[in-house]
Amino acid sequence: MNSAVAALLLVALVAANLPFVVERAAFVFQPKSGHKAFGWRVLELIALYFAVGMVAHFLEKKVIAPPPQHWEFYAVTGCMFIVLAFPGFVYRFLWRR
């Protein structure tokens, strides 16, 4: 189970930084301006948050019955996902100039 948690954290770290590394909008379309707008990056970050959350839910469902989760759970995990995205944000907007 410890390896599953470590793998999930690694997947979350990669997924959180992916919108800041990949220049294709929705990971498919090349923008006409040559770079993605910040709004696209935020939308991709939200979509990847829910994708990683579904993977975590399915992994948890295999081990135990998942307890009910309220808004506090989503607020905390959303903030953790944003913190995991910080290296990609720094690379894209602060360091790479």
Domain boundaries, the chain: 2-95
Percent pLDDT > 70 in the chain is 97
Mean pLDDT of the chain: 91
Read off the pLDDT of residues 64-88 as tens digits, 9 standing for 90 and up.
888 999 999 999 999 999 999 999 9
Cα–Cα distances (Å) from 42 to 22, 24, 58, 64, 95, in that order, read 13, 13, 25, 32, 19
Read off the pLDDT of residues 24-63 as tens digits, 9 standing for 90 and up.
887 788 878 878 889 989 999 999 999 999 999 998 998 8
Q: Residues 6 or more apart from 84 whose CB is under 8 A from it?
A: 12, 13, 16, 17
Q: Residues 6 or more apart from 21 whose CB is under 8 A from it?
A: 88, 91, 92
